[in-house]
């Protein structure tokens, strides 16, 4: 009898040179480079290129790409009530149908879908508000271009820098559910658009991509830094969980949260949301350590993801889809790694149904 692992927990299903998640020691490496150094010295474009090719090119540049006509037609046909993740998944699927995506996938294909998707999400976000989409500006980098297409004006450098840092820390995180989905799909010799569409579908689930919006609701309830300690203590007294603290993998401070906090603290004019998040975190960590000295409950990336995404002006329902934009680099890098030594991913299942029997007559 071979062992059964529900959810494949603990099963080694792939070997990767892309990301190393060291939960015990609070480390995250992309191709060996610590996430903090990548945020401090790199850009999302450079990090994406590192994941795709293994080369560190600080001058690498991605821009947002135009939306093909059939994709725009599909986006206009969606109701304004559609979820942004559904719109993004639909857009990538239609985009794939307009492209010649030959096997095997290439870094050029990875760059193309990663550049297209921000334009598609920004277009849907404007269409549902009754506004016309904005054409991409090839003079702007991908994150600045996305915010410009979303809001109709170029963001200030600090805002663009904060979101670029979020994109970097969200780019890759091992064999999580959506990344595994992408590798399963591409292992069948399907195309990169199908793999990314499937990954978006996996990330849509609230167990994977929905936590930052809950942090926003929590910070709303706290209200002000002066109210933080009373609110935290009363919430814990009621047995409530503090959103943004604790992680399934990390037992130390999440290095992605540390990198985002450093960016937030360096902003000359911090938005009120970022300032509130920093002060509430300090209170929460102190009270959690006091209440649960036996359990390491440290800040996770969702906490500062929420603060940054709110701080740059995104509405909470755009958070999961923006996370998906950031993860495009990692998904497509895993696609390229999978096809380099491809083997169809096809685990077995243990049958637990009835023994052989005859139909009743």
Active-site residue set: 247, 302
The span from the CA of 122 to the CA of 155, in Å, is 14
Which two structure tokens, joined as six digits, stand for 181?
Answer: 């989905």
Closest to 11 measured CA to CA, from 357, 361, 347:
347
The span from the CA of 346 to the CA of 81, in Å, is 37
Which two structure tokens, joined as six digits, stand for 189?
Answer: 């010799």
Question: Per-residue DSSP letters for 276-297?
Answer: HHHHHHHHHHHHHHHH-TTS--
Question: Per-residue DSSP letters for 2-54?
Answer: ----GGGTT------SSEEEETTTTEEEETTEEHHHHHHH--HHHHHHHHHHS
Chain Cα centroid distance, residue 188: 24
Q: Distance of CA 152 to CAs 1, 47, 318, Å?
A: 60, 27, 16
The span from the CA of 298 to the CA of 247, in Å, is 8
The span from the CA of 228 to the CA of 343, in Å, is 52
- Other Cβ atoms less than 10 A from the Cβ of 82: the count is 15
Residue tagged 């007294």 (tokens): 237
Which two structure tokens, joined as six digits, stand for 220?
Answer: 């709303």
Which two structure tokens, joined as six digits, stand for 333?
Answer: 């890098």
The span from the CA of 293 to the CA of 252, in Å, is 13
Contacts of 129 (CB under 8 A, 6+ apart): 80
Asked if 319 and 214 count as a contact pair (C-beta separation under 8 A), the reply is no
Which residues are paired to 19 by β-bridges? Answer: 30
């Amino acid at each position: 009898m071979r062992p059964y692992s529900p959810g494949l927990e603990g099963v080694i299903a792939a070997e990767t040179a892309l990301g190393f998640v060291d939960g015990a020691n609070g480390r995250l490496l992309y191709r060996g480079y610590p996430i903090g150094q990548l945020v401090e010295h790199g850009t999302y474009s450079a990090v994406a290129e590192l994941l795709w090719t293994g080369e560190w090119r600080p001058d690498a540049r991605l821009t947002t790409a135009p939306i093909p006509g059939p994709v725009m037609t599909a986006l206009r046909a969606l109701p304004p009530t559609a979820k942004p993740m559904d719109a993004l998944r639909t857009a990538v699927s239609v985009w794939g149908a307009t492209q010649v995506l030959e096997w095997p996938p290439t870094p050029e294909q990875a760059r193309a879908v990663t550049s297209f998707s921000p334009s598609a999400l920004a277009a849907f976000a404007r269409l549902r508000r009754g506004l016309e989409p904005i054409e991409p500006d090839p003079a702007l980098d991908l994150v600045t271009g996305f915010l410009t297409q979303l809001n109709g004006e170029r963001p200030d450098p600090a805002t663009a820098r904060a979101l670029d840092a979020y994109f970097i820390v969200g780019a890759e995180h091992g064999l999580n559910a959506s990344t595994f989905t992408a590798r399963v799909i591409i292992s069948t010799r399907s195309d990169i658009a199908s793999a990314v569409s499937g990954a978006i579908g996996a990330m849509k689930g609230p167990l994977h991509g929905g936590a930052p919006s809950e942090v926003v609701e929590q910070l709303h309830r706290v209200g002000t830094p002066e109210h933080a300690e009373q609110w935290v203590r009363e919430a814990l007294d009621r047995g409530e969980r503090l959103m943004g603290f604790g992680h399934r993998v990390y037992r130390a401070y999440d290095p992605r949260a540390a990198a985002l906090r450093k960016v937030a603290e360096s902003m000359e004019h911090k938005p009120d949301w970022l300032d509130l998040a920093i002060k509430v975190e300090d209170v929460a960590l102190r009270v959690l350590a006091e209440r649960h000295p036996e359990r390491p409950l440290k800040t996770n990336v969702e906490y500062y993801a929420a603060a940054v995404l709110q701080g740059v002006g995104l509405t909470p329902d755009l958070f999961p889809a923006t996370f998906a934009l950031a993860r495009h680099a990692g998904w497509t890098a895993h696609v390229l790694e999978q096809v380099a030594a491809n083997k169809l991913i096809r685990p077995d299942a243990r049958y637990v149904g009835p023994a052989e029997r005859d139909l009743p007559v």
